[in-house]
Amino acid sequence: MNGAHALLRTLVANGVDTCFTNPGTSEMHFVAALDDVPEMRPILALFEGVATGAADGYGRMAGRPAATLLHLGPGLGNGLANLHNARRARTPIVNIVGDHATYHQALDAPLASDIVGVARNVSRWIRESKGPETVGADAAEAISEARRGGVATLILPADASWSEGAQPGPEAIAHVGFISFADEVELAVKALRSGEPTALLLGGKALTERGLLAASRVAQATGAKLLCETFPARLVRGAGLPAVERLGYLAEFAVAQLQGLRNLVLVDAKEPVSFFAYPNLPSELAPEGCEIRDLVADGVLAEAALEALADALGAPADGAVRTPAARPDRPSGALNPETIANAIGALLPEGAIVSDEANTAGLFVSGATAGAPRHDWLTLTGGAIGQGMPVATGAAVACPDRKVLNLQADGSAMYTIQSLWTQARENLDVTTIIFDNRSYAILSLELSRVGARTDGNAADLFDISRPPLDFVSLARGMGVDGTRAETADELVRALEHALSEPGPHLIDAILPARL
C-alpha cells in the first residue's frame, strides 16, 4: 500500500469522508487513489480559497472535519484567508498540502516554498510526513488535533504519497474536553449574586440551543445581560429560542453595550477588543475595573458549564425566555437594505442555514429574522472577506436536506465567485442574494473613523461600478440560474422561486449606490 492509499483509508475510517480540493502535480497519487476509496467524496473548487472556505462551512455545520487538498505553498497561500477565518471559528479541518518529493526539495525548484512558515499562521498543528511508513499515523494525529477545534495541517511530500510500505493509521482520538469546571462555576455564581452589573458573553459551543437555553435561565434568574460575540461561528436562532444580543462591530457601540459592567463572564468567548485601533478610542472594550473571568476553558464543555451554572443559581428549568414567532410582511415598492431584510424575514424557511457576508448593507437582516422559523447563522469570524460563498457551499454539502441562503456583499463576492461553479457542479441547494451597491461601502465608513479623508481620486478606490459587474451573467456563465431584482416586489418573487426549487440560484438585488 502506498502513502496516498494509507492516508485516504485513515481519513474515511475516522469519519473524514469529504475532501475539497484544487490539486496539482504533487498530489496526483492522492487523486489516483480516490478510485480505490469510494467512501471519500472529492469536490473540486476552481480556486483554493473556495476549497478552504467550503471546508470551514462544512465543519461548522457537520461538527466534524472535512479535508482539503492543496497544491504546495502557493496553493496553500491562495487558501490562506479562509483558513484564517476557520482558525478564528475553531472549525475542525484536516488541511493536506502536497509538497515536492523529499529528495527534490533542496533543489529550490520554481514552486518550492516554506510551507511550514505559511501554514503556521493558521494551524493549531503542523506535521510533515517523512515517508510512507508514517503517513497513516500522521493522518490519525491530524484528525485528532482537528477535532480539538482548528486547522491541522499535514504536509505530504510526493514520494511519501507514491512510495509503498504504508499502513492505515490507528483510530483517531476523540476530543472530550476537561471534566471539571466546579471552581469556575463557583466564581461565576459569586459574580452573578454580587448585585453588581454583570453580563455573560457567549461564543463558540455556547451558542447552540442547549447553551442558549441555559444562558437564558441564568440571565432571567440574576438579571445579567446576555451578549454574544460580534461574529459567531454558528448561532442557532429564531422562534422558540432565546434571543441573544450580538456585540457591536463598531467600538463605540460595543463600549455602550458594556458600559457600567463590573463583571463579565466569558463562555467559550474571548475578551472583547476593537477590530482595529482608532484614534481616541479604546482597544479593550470592557470598562475599566470590570472583572473578566472564564466560565470554562474548553469550549467542548460550554453547554454543560452553563447548565451547571444555571443549576447552581437555582434557576428554574423552564426559566428561559423564548423568542415568539413573528415575521415581517412581504415588502413592496423600492428596494433598499430594509426591504431586502423584510423579504428575507418573510420567506426564510424552517431549518435554513444563513451564510452572512452582507456586511454594511445587511444591517437590518438580523432584526427582521429574529422571529423567523429556527435557523443557523454563520458569520465572518476572522474578518477576511470572501468567506460567504464558500462557507455556503460547504454548509450545503454537510446538510443536503436544508436550504442554504447566502447573504453576499457585491465586493467580497468577487473574491470567491468561483463558488458558484462548484455549487452548480454538485447541484447544491444554495440561494445567493447579492447586496449590490456597487461600492466598498465599509471602506468609506472606515476612512472617516480612522481620521483620514479624501476629496479626490482616492475615493475612486471604493467605487466598483466602473465597469458595472453583471452578476446575472457571471452566475449563468458558471451554470447557476441568475435573476436581477430592482424592486422589493421583484425580490420577493425571485426569492420565492429560488426557495421553491432545489439547486443553486443567484439574485442580484440592486441597491442605491454607496450605502
CB 323 within 8 A of CB 347: no
The enclosing H or E element of 172 equals: none
Spatial CA neighbour of 433 closest among 501, 370, 368, 492: 492
Alpha carbon 180 to chain centroid distance? Answer: 29
Let me know if 446 is exposed, middle or buried by CB neighbors in 10 A (0-12, 13-18, 19+).
middle
Q: Is the peptide bond before 324 cis (omega within 30 degrees of 0)?
A: no
CB 485 within 8 A of CB 432: no
C-alpha–C-alpha distance, residues 108 and 100, integer Å: 10
The enclosing H or E element of 166 equals: none
Say what the alpha-carbon torsion angle 503, 330, 326, 258 is, to the nearest 10 degrees.
Answer: 90
Residues 6+ apart with CB under 8 A from 326: 239, 370, 371
C-alpha–C-alpha distance, residues 402 and 414, integer Å: 25
Cell of 100: 515536492
Residue showing cell 483620514: 452
**Which string of b and e fits 155-180 if b means at least 16 CB within 10 Å?**
bbbbbbbbbeebbbbeebeeeebeee
User: Is 182-312's fold the same as 337-510's?
Assistant: yes
DSSP 3-state of 315: coil
Phi, psi of 290 (to 5 degrees): -75, 130
Residues 6+ apart with CB under 8 A from 295: 181, 184, 185, 188, 200, 265, 266, 267, 302, 305, 306, 309
What's the confidence (pLDDT) of residue 33? 97
C-alpha–C-alpha distance, residues 135 and 166, integer Å: 7
Q: What is the mean pLDDT of each run of 10 residues along the chain (515 residues)?
A: 98 98 96 97 98 98 98 98 98 98 94 96 97 97 97 98 96 78 92 96 97 98 97 98 94 92 96 89 92 87 95 96 97 97 98 95 94 98 97 98 97 97 98 90 64 67 86 98 98 98 97 71
Spatial CA neighbour of 473 closest among 464, 463, 483, 465: 483
Amino acid identity at 109: A
Residue 381 is given by DSSP the state T
Domain locations in the chain?
A: 3-162, 182-312, 337-510
C-alpha–C-alpha distance, residues 428 and 435, integer Å: 21
| CATH superfamily assigned to domain 3-162 | Thiamin diphosphate (ThDP)-binding fold, Pyr/PP domains (3.40.50.970)
Alpha carbon 96 to chain centroid distance? Answer: 19
C-alpha–C-alpha distance, residues 112 and 23, integer Å: 16
| CATH superfamily assigned to domain 182-312 | TPP-binding domain (3.40.50.1220)
Phi, psi of 499 (to 5 degrees): -75, -15
337-510: CATH topology: Rossmann fold (3.40.50)
Alpha carbon 105 to chain centroid distance? Answer: 34
Spatial CA neighbour of 31 closest among 170, 130, 161: 161
Dihedral (CA of 71, 475, 361, 511) sign: positive
What's the confidence (pLDDT) of residue 515? 42
283-289: list long-range contacts, CB under 8 Å, 24+ apart: 285/247, 285/251, 285/254, 285/255, 285/258, 286/258, 286/261, 287/255, 287/258, 287/259, 287/260, 287/261, 289/262
| Helix axis angle, 388-398 to 419-426, nearest 10° | 20
